[in-house]
């Protein structure tokens, strides 16, 4: 019996960004250099497959520094941490390596600069996200005001009217939604200072742009990523707003909603910045088991960004 045909369109770029790739390499190289176990505070990146793979190599993921026995290396996640975290590690005489994405560190430095310049600071981001907690924790409590929605931007009131305002953003936000919030702030406060270089990272921007194009060429779309991954959830939202029917977030091939995709002849596939390519291959293989599949890659951008390893691991990276 002849199998039904399906066309799979893969977004490019998709999957790992340079910051995620660097963070994973930091854990792997720390294990190589110091041996297991190596402790990691929080998930190194928001992907269970990645976390479980590193656990099998000897990484141990913990919630707090107090959960780590003395004498073992500790790594801070790619999302960044409040200043209180390395301070606590030093008080506990811990050896730590910071895997914060350099583009997140850039936002941290911007916050410090604005404080030095006596600016009142707004951070556009999602409450409770580790990156937001880390960025707000660069300064004393209350120094940064978090704005999550356009409504909050409309209702924002300065703590010190007349003081110069500046805004920062989380690196993994929806480009379009953030633009709407920024437009409101600029209309209300024409002198507000923007980041010198866009805070939303290149990988987030590129993956959202690719999904917009893919959504227009597919009648179903899968985003491979974790529900606690901000950039993956934004890809789902972007695809839905672009008008693509049958959009779903899946962590693995076992999560594919086959019933919802029954009528979809052309299915788009992308992956969040913390999802490895092996999960994309797994999803393609699952389709190939059910259908006669044609795979096309829709390339919208070429990424060649690479971040340096921390100095203490640089020699291993060179080898």
User: How deeply is 274 buried, as exposed, middle or buried, from its count of CB atoms within 10 A (0-12, 13-18, 19+)?
Assistant: buried
Cis peptide before 13 (omega within 30 of 0): yes
CA distance 77 to 41: 6
Residues of the chain with CATH 3.40.50.11270: 19-101
Topology (CATH) of 19-101: Rossmann fold (3.40.50)
Q: What is the pLDDT of residue 196?
A: 87
Per annotation, catalytic residue among 131, 240, 281, 289:
131
Do the Cβ atoms of 239 and 221 come closer than 8 Å? yes
Catalytic, 112? Answer: no
CB 169 within 8 A of CB 124: yes
Rounded CA-CA distance 251/248 in Å is 10
Q: What is the pLDDT along the chain (319 residues), one digit of tens a residue?
A: 789 999 999 999 999 999 999 999 999 999 999 999 999 999 999 999 999 999 999 999 999 999 999 999 999 999 999 999 999 999 999 999 999 999 999 999 999 999 999 999 999 999 999 999 999 999 999 999 999 999 999 999 999 898 999 999 999 999 999 999 999 999 999 999 999 888 999 999 999 999 999 999 999 999 999 999 999 999 999 999 999 999 999 999 999 999 999 999 999 999 999 999 999 999 999 999 999 999 999 999 999 999 999 999 986 444 4
Q: Which has the closest alpha carbon to 134: 104, 113, 89, 110? A: 104
What pLDDT, on the 0 to 100 scale, is given for residue 314? 83
Q: Where in the chain is the domain with CATH 3.40.1010.20?
A: 5-16+202-299, 103-188
How much is the pLDDT for 2?
83
Please tell me the predicted confidence (pLDDT) of residue 315.
64
Instruction: Write the CATH number of the domain with boundaries 5-16+202-299.
Output: 3.40.1010.20
User: CATH code for 103-188?
Assistant: 3.40.1010.20
Signed CA dihedral, 272, 25, 308, 302: sign only: negative
């Amino acid at each position: 019996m002849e199998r039904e045909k399906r066309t799979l369109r893969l977004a490019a770029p998709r999957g790992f960004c340079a910051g995620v790739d660097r963070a994973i390499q930091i854990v792997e190289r720390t294990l190589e250099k110091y041996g297991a176990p190596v402790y990691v505070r929080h998930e190194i990146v928001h992907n269970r497959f990645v976390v479980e793979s590193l656990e099998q190599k000897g990484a141990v993921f913990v919630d707090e520094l107090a959960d780590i026995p003395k004498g073992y290396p500790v790594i801070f996640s790619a999302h960044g941490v409040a200043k209180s975290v390395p301070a606590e590690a030093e008080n506990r005489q811990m050896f730590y390596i910071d895997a914060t994405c350099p583009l997140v560190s850039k936002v941290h430095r911007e916050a410090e600069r604005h404080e030095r310049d006596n600016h009142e600071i707004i951070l556009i981001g999602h409450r409770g996200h580790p990156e937001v907690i880390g960025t707000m924790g660069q300064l004393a409590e209350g120094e940064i005001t978090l704005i999550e929605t356009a409504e909050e931007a409309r209702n924002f009131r300065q703590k010190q009217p007349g003081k110069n305002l500046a805004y920062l953003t989380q690196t993994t936000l929806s480009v379009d939604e953030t633009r709407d919030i920024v437009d409101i702030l600029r209309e209300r406060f024409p002198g507000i200072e923007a980041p010198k270089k866009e805070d939303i990272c290149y990988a987030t921007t590129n993956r959202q742009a690719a999904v917009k194009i893919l959504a227009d060429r597919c009648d179903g779309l899968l985003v491979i990523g974790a529900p606690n991954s901000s950039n993956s959830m934004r890809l789902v939202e972007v695809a839905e707003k672009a008008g693509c029917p049958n959009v779903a977030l899946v962590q693995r091939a076992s999560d594919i909603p086959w019933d919802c995709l029954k009528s979809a002849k052309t299915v788009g596939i992308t992956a969040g910045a913390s999802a490895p390519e092996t999960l994309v291959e797994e999803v393609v293989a699952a389709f190939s088991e059910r259908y006669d599949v044609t795979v096309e890659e829709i390339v919208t951008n070429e990424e060649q960004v690479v971040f340096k390893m921390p100095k203490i691991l640089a020699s291993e990276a060179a080898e």
